[in-house]
Structure 1
Amino acid sequence: MYISMADRTGGKTDPGTADAKLPAGQGVAFRLSPVILWLGIVSMATDISSESVSAILPLYVTGFLGLSTIAYGFIDGLNQGASAVVRIAAGWASDRTGHPKRVAVAGYGLSMLARTGLLFAGGFWSLIGIVTGDRIGKGIRTAPRDALISAEAQPEHLARSFGVHRMLDNIGAATGPMLAFLILLLIPNGFGVVFAVSLAFAVIGVAVLVLVVPDRRMARAAETPTRTRTASRWRQLKEPGLTRLLVTAGLLALLTVGDGFIYLVLQDRDSFAVQWFPLLYVGTNVAYVVLAVPMGRLADRWGRVRVFLGGHVALLACYVLAAAPLGGIGVTVACLMLLGLFYAATDGVLAALASRLVSPEKVATGIGAAQTVVALCRMAASAGFGILWFAIGASAAMLTAAVVLAAVLAATAVLMGASQKQAADA
């Protein structure tokens, strides 16, 4: 097992310090841990399962079930944020037991059970229950899994190791929508077949995790009295470096419109046939697959905060293109590439940043805290955008999101820039 950077430095670091004094990784050859590879395969199978459903969910809700964009916004908000209610608790449980794999298995297993419910769902409330169960499973598994990756990765190549995992994850995320596209192409309104295929891949992912990924024992957090545990968890959010990261990530996540809405805007503008809709997810995830490792490598060399903020600049450009009165396949492909770049520059990089800001025995809790803030804010963003679309229309709503995101980006860049300057002067 590799030793984490936090172990080498004696604990947590400031995000400015981490970027300002980050080793370039030169002289240390990159070597991928087999554990990270297997975790990537687990995530690949799980994302085939989840993304095959996500790719048809906007059409299933607004077309097949005939619900409004407000209803879809609520469902998509749950899809974005329901996992937040358990992320910190799952991270704490992982740190407390010292067995992150066991906590991750519980999360993957719950999502697998939720997939079974899709075979019988037929209305708004049943979908609410299924999406909530699936996302809670995601919330349980994500921080423990990322803690395993952080522990197994070479510290000089931390973001790159997360990038490799995210690349494998998004191979699955690209394959799932492609499967959904092929099924709907061969079987019009074959949503039930998509749900059955989704369940099969969820089972495969859980089986690989249980049977192949080793149950690494990690450093355990110290025991605390029951009455002080909750307060202790929240005190971890008050670390200066982690607090700045949470504020920055939360503000930006409030302006992160759900992918489904962006795709609905593109479909509304260009009016292409519905069976092509899942391919929009494929395009985004192909871009993510291609860019995940380069973005992780760039973050390790150039600075993780810079790459994280740069990813949101790509998201801003995506919003502007989606809102523009321009049609055609070229604009659509550009939107998908920009969205893929956004995820490649932010997803694994955020986990890498958070893992550096807490002591070794609290890595999963720190990662879970960052993911919780992002998930909650994205849930609010999706619900709010659904109402905004209903009130002023698709293009106007997207343009509004772009303008506000530009302002927030400027503010957060100043915030993180000041943090780095203080760290460099210290």
Structure 2
Amino acid sequence: MARLEIHPYFAGLSRNTFLLAFASLFADISTEMLYPVLPVFLTQTLQASGSIVGLVDGVAQAAQNIVQGLSGSLSDKLQKRKSIALAGYLLAAIAKPLMGLSTVWQGAFGARLLDRLGAGARSAPRDALIASSVDEKDRGRAFGLEGVGDNAGAFLGPLLAVFLLYAAHVGIRPIFYLAVIPGLLAFFMVLLVREQPAAAAAKSKIDLSLRRFPKLYWRYLLATALFGLGNSSNAFLILRTQEIGTSLETTILIYAAFNLVAALISYPAGALSDSWGRRNILLASFIVFLIAYLGFAVMKNIVLIAALFGFYGLYQGIFRAVGKAFAADFLSDHLRASGIGWYSTTVGLLQLVASVVAGLLWDRIGHTAVFYYGAVFAVVGSVGLLLLIPNGSFSVRSDAV
């Protein structure tokens, strides 16, 4: 695998890892520049109700979560990563202007579904490309670098949308058209990736048997699921921030700062997990989550909430980078895409469950109940991680069961 002559801090990373990090950067700019726009577009331009907004986002996100595991299995079956990832990036890119062209909410719904299907299809093959592009000892750094790109895109996207809407006075529909540009740049970054030769022959059919994966992988998935039961959508943190009197513009800036912190911590967290152990760093992210949720439950000062939101960005950056790298540690190369895909599916679907529960708590019991609920499962997940996963590094065997 090709190595670049780069600063020692990035030692061990390959050309592919930088290309894939840039792909995540541009893809997230494309997606997140629509984050503050789509609900307004649906309700004000297409005259959809609030329940329709929830339906559009909920179904699209659920579809993305499910297709991640399926695309990973397909990638392992074909032993092809790049071509499936490319298809996903292209589908997500062209779906953006299709949303803007819609004249009824059903059209926007269909385009949003295509967008999330593309995002789900590309995720697991891309992560398998990242894992195969570096030595095992540098895997945390590789996923950390990808996390930098992803979270930096999530930071820049909303800021770009705010600039286009309020400074450049661009209309809402053109925002969707412009979002195709970074989406296509992401596609071209992956086009330049050099895929490593397959280590195993393609299988005659997609094998969905649960027995393929090692026991430690399933124990890790269980610990992740226990934590995920309380890991609801970040939308509740945004709602809590606005609830205490923060303006919309300030809330967007706070959200952007949260993504910036996540971007800045991703690579150091991944690098530390290579030397200190994945479990230790992942446990630290759970503790950050616990502190942040307890703080959101009790604090009502705007400055403190803003600082807490930024602190929560540490969790976001660490969990994304180290969680996937840890999942990859348990898997041999010919199972890596499907294993990481089902890990991502678990995280996504449990977040959907947690968000439904959080919504009921928000409406029927009280807003602070959402954060106490999340804090409880942060403790449960932390205990589960300590009990289910022994400390230390894991060397992957192809016959591990």
**TM-score, length of structure 2 as denominator length:** 0.86
- Measure how far apart 1:381 and its partner are: 2.0
- Residue deviations 1:278-325 (CA, integer Å, cap 9, x gap): 323311111012111111122112221121122122122222222224
Which 5+ residue runs of structure 2 have no aligned equivalent? Answer: 395-401
Is 1:236 aligned with 2:212? Answer: yes
Please give the residue correspondences for 1:19-418 in structure 2 after superposition, counting only pairs within 5 Å.
30-57=11-38, 67-68=49-50, 73-78=54-59, 80-121=61-102, 125-186=106-167, 190-210=171-191, 212-221=192-201, 223-224=203-204, 226=205, 229-232=206-209, 234-237=210-213, 239-272=214-247, 274-335=248-309, 337-393=310-366, 395-416=367-388
- Assess if the C-alpha contact under 8 Å between 1:76 and 1:258 holds in 2: no
Q: What is the rounded CA distance, in whole Å, between the counterparts of 1:28 and 1:192 in structure 2?
A: 42
Aligned length: 388
- Assess if the C-alpha contact under 8 Å between 1:80 and 1:378 holds in 2: no
Root mean square deviation of aligned Cα: 2.9
- Measure how far apart 1:331 and its partner are: 2.3
- Measure how far apart 1:347 and its partner are: 0.9
Q: What is the rounded CA distance, in whole Å, between the counterparts of 1:76 and 1:129 in structure 2?
A: 11
Bigger Cα displacement from structure 2, 163-172 vs 142-151: 163-172
- Counterpart residue type for residue 255 of structure 1: G
SS at 2:292 equivalent: helix
Residues 29 and 282 of structure 1: is their aligned pair in 2 closer, same or farther, counting only changes over 3 Å? closer
Bigger Cα displacement from structure 2, 118-127 vs 305-314: 118-127
SS at 1:255 equivalent: coil
Q: What is the rounded CA distance, in whole Å, between the counterparts of 2:261 and 2:67 in structure 1?
A: 30
Structure scoring higher RCO (CA < 8 A, sep ≥ 6) equals: 1
- Measure how far apart 1:388 and its partner are: 2.7
Residues 179 and 221 of structure 1: is their aligned pair in 2 closer, same or farther, counting only changes over 3 Å? same
- Assess if the C-alpha contact under 8 Å between 1:146 and 1:364 holds in 2: yes
SS at 2:34 equivalent: helix
- Assess if the C-alpha contact under 8 Å between 2:68 and 2:342 holds in 1: yes
Q: What is the rounded CA distance, in whole Å, between the counterparts of 1:350 and 1:410 in structure 2?
A: 13
- Assess if the C-alpha contact under 8 Å between 1:77 and 1:381 holds in 2: no
Residues 314 and 329 of structure 1: is their aligned pair in 2 closer, same or farther, counting only changes over 3 Å? same
SS at 1:83 equivalent: helix
Which 5+ residue runs of structure 1 have no aligned equivalent? Answer: 4-26
- Counterpart residue type for residue 244 of structure 1: R
- Residue deviations 1:54-105 (CA, integer Å, cap 9, x gap): 244466667886744x655554444543212222221122222222100101
Q: What is the rounded CA distance, in whole Å, between the counterparts of 1:386 and 1:189 in structure 2?
A: 34
Identity of aligned residues (%): 28
Residues 414 and 148 of structure 1: is their aligned pair in 2 closer, same or farther, counting only changes over 3 Å? closer
SS at 2:33 equivalent: helix
Residues 251 and 220 of structure 1: is their aligned pair in 2 closer, same or farther, counting only changes over 3 Å? same
Bigger Cα displacement from structure 2, 189-198 vs 42-51: 189-198
- Measure how far apart 1:269 and its partner are: 1.5
- Assess if the C-alpha contact under 8 Å between 1:167 and 1:289 holds in 2: yes
Q: What is the rounded CA distance, in whole Å, between the counterparts of 1:113 and 1:176 in structure 2?
A: 17
- Counterpart residue type for residue 328 of structure 1: I
Q: What is the rounded CA distance, in whole Å, between the counterparts of 2:99 and 2:224 in structure 1?
A: 32
Bigger Cα displacement from structure 2, 299-308 vs 408-417: 408-417
Residues 55 and 251 of structure 1: is their aligned pair in 2 closer, same or farther, counting only changes over 3 Å? farther
Q: What is the rounded CA distance, in whole Å, between the counterparts of 1:322 and 1:386 in structure 2?
A: 16
Residues 377 and 402 of structure 1: is their aligned pair in 2 closer, same or farther, counting only changes over 3 Å? closer
